[in-house]
Amino acid sequence: MSDDGFLRVADVSKWYGDEQVLHDVSFEMDRGDVTVLIGPSGSGKSTMLRCVNRLAEAQEGSILLDGEEVLSPDLDVNDLRREVGMVFQGFNLFAHLTAVGNVALGPRRVLGLSEAAARERAEAQLERVGLGDQFDSYPAELSGGQQQRVGIARALAMEPKLLLFDEPTSALDPELIGEVLEVMHGLVDEGMTMLVVTHEMSFAREVADEIVFLDDGRVVERGPPDQLFERPERERTGRFLERIASHD
Amino acid sequence: MAGATRPATVRERVADSDRSVGRLLLVAAGALFWGWLVVSWVNRWLGGVLVPVGDPLVPPGAVEATLAAIPGIAAYAADAAFVVELSPEIARGTWLTVVITAASLVVGFFIAVPLAVTRVYGRFSAWVSLAYTELLRGTPLLAQLFVLHYGLNLGSYVPDTLSGVFARNVVWVAIVGFTLNGAAYQAEYIRGAIESVEEGQITAGRAIGLSKLETIYYVVLPQGLRYAIPSWTNEFVYLIKYSSLAAFITVPELYYRADQIASETFRYTLIFIVTGVTYLALVLTASKLMERVESRVSIPGLGVDRER
């Protein structure tokens, strides 16, 4: 690892009203790294993820992306978001647009590509996620796995320097999870920088450079997967991993 | 539902043919109605190329003679001839009804969309929009027309370029009145529809870097406006009928013409039946048209879980 500090999350805290949901969360990742956030539901993983592209607003701390302060009030969030892609648990595909339409919207309207260029880029990204035969299908005509792959293509089409995955397989039927993970594996191999919230422990173990275990809005423990899975330092981490394992 | 196909029962086949006969009759009636209207209008615009302006398209005398020869309906021959005789006036009034409705609906739509959007997504503007909607929906339409016409004398402010379009400027006053009022109602329908667009759609739009306004334009409205079509059609239908209130500020539209003829001839029942049927034909056309629009713009899976 080159330790270029591509993403530096430092002491991030967030409150919803009186309730503090993130307590001084800190972690770093380098370009090309895969960091997986794990933890029980309600532990603040998704909220942390959303703070990175400002879909959620952190009230304290610092998030440096490529040296720029994400939390700065002067930052144009739309500029930030064109560089940080996001894949959602519920896919959130634009229901009125075809697969190509979904993927092309960002390049066309945010990046300002021509209609033809945006379509070409969308088709290329759909090919990349194995949906070369579904260009003109509407979301409702696709399976969950296919929808999520469109979701990934949509994020990729913006040529992001960081991809955020918010439980990308949690809403999928078990038999459809594999195709999505396969696409994500491919991205890892291509060197994409990815911050992933997931319950897929075998995936985390296989591809993560670092695992961050969050509980109750706090980083309980972080480290390389081998260390975290084999020799967790904290009792809570061990308990959580055992509980997850017994479900698999 | 069983997936296997089975032969249609006799009853179903009868029902099917009933439906197609019914549809054929409806289409034929529609063609007759609109054919009569359009030919009447064109005849008037071109200064009476087919029949002298003000004359019916077919001579009432001939209609009466023909019908009188048919046993069973001979008793109605005179009434039919009378209806034919007043048909040019009905066609003339219907023209203004159609124009006022169409113009108010279309212009009102472009006011209604921003009203609905600000109502849902605005802060201060949401209150302005709410106040507008409640004021216009909460006061009688007739009172609004009276304020515009008798109170503000809006007709005298019509710019010269527009002033020649209709025989009388009061038509513009009616269009303004129905536009402002209809916009409030349309905004309510559209607001309800865009509120039902899933939150995740907006999140996804923002996440690829679209601004809030861009997300509304490219993501929320294309879905919300589709959802709005069925309820929006109500406003279309209401407006056709409410446009008759223009008669009270002396706009010579359908109702006004009917009332005039009735008070001259005292044949109220017959005239208002004919007028009612004319409104009905306009309303049916509007709902059929919107059905067509709805199926034309429908998208697989969009809104299916909302329908029942």
Walk along chain B (308 residues) and give the pLDDT tens digit of each residue.
444 566 677 777 777 777 788 889 989 999 999 999 999 999 999 988 888 888 888 888 888 888 888 888 888 888 888 999 899 999 999 999 999 999 999 999 999 999 999 999 999 999 999 999 999 999 999 999 999 999 998 888 888 888 878 878 899 999 999 999 999 999 999 999 999 999 999 999 999 999 999 999 999 999 999 999 999 999 999 999 999 999 999 999 999 999 999 999 999 999 999 999 999 999 999 999 999 999 999 998 886 554 43
Q: Which residue of A has its CA nearest to B197?
A: A95
Query: DSSP string spanning B168-184?
Result: STHHHHHHHHHHHHHHH
In the prediction, which pLDDT does B5 show?
60
Please spell the DSSP secondary structure of B21-71, one letter per residue.
Answer: HHHHHHHHHHHHHHHHHHHHHHHHHTTSSSS-TTS-SS-HHHHHHHHHTST
Fill in the DSSP letter of residue A58: -
pLDDT at A146 over 80: yes
Domain presence at residue B20: no
Chain B CB contacts of A80 under 8 Å are 209
Strand order of the β-sheet with A84-87 is A84-87, A162-166, A194-197, A34-38, A210-215, A218-223
- Residue B67 falls within a domain, yes or no? no
In a domain, B62, yes or no: no
Two tokens, residue A170 = 């949690």
d(CA A126, CA A143): 15
d(CA B272, CA A37): 74
DSSP string, A79-137: HHHHHEEEE-TT----TTS-HHHHHHHIIIIIS---HHHHHHHHHHHHHHTT-TT-TT-
The answer to whether residue B35 sits within a structural domain is no
| Closest Cα in chain B to A77 | B209
To the nearest whole Å, the CA of B9 is away from the closest chain A CA by: 33
pLDDT score recorded for residue B16? 73
Q: What's the average model confidence in pLDDT over A91-95?
A: 95
How many A×B Cβ pairs under 8 Å?
Answer: 75
B297 touches chain A (CB under 8 A): no
Q: How far is B193 from chain A (nearest CA, A)?
A: 14
Region A17-45 average pLDDT = 93
pLDDT in tens, A38-56: 999 889 999 999 999 999 9
Name the nearest CA neighbour of A56 among B117, B206, B195.
B206
Q: How many C-beta atoms lie closer than 10 Å to residue A248's C-beta?
A: 8
- In B253-285, which positions are buried (b, 16+ CB within 10 angstroms) versus exposed (e)? bbbbbbbebbeeeebeebbeebbeebbebbeee
List the structure tokens of A235.
């009792």
Query: The domain that contains B166 carries what CATH number?
Result: 1.10.3720.10
Give the model's pLDDT for residue A56. Answer: 94
Domain coverage including residue B264: 77-297
Q: For domain A7-247, give the fold.
A: Rossmann fold (3.40.50)
Distance between the two ends of chain A, CA-based, in angstroms? 31
Does residue A139 have a pLDDT over 90? Answer: yes
Q: Answer yes or no: are the C-beta atoms of B40 and B88 closer than 8 Å.
A: yes
Residue B9 lies in a domain: no
C-alpha span between A80 and A66 (Å, rounded): 11
Look at residue B12 in the predicted model and tell me its pLDDT: 74
What confidence score (pLDDT) does residue A4 get? 80
Considering only CB atoms, which chain A residues are within 8 Å of B301? 95, 138-141
Q: For residue A78, which residues of chain B lie inside 8 Å, CB to CB? A: 209-211
Query: Are B149 and B170 a contacting pair, CB within 8 Å?
Result: yes
B214 contacts on A by Cβ (under 8 Å)? 109
User: Half-sphere exposure of residue B85, counting CA atoms within 13 Å on the CB side?
Assistant: 15
CA–CA separation, A80 and B57 (whole Å)? 69
How many domains, in total, are found in chain B? 1
Four-residue CA torsion sign, B272, B276, B282, B283: positive
Please check whether residue B167 lies inside any domain of the structure.
yes
Q: Which residue of B has its CA nearest to A160?
A: B208
Best mutation site among B203, B208, B223, B294 for testing chain A: the one with the most A CBs within 10 Å?
A: B208
Least Cα distance to B157 among B143, B175, B170, B141 occurs for B170
> What ipTM was reported for this prediction?
0.92
B96 within some domain: yes
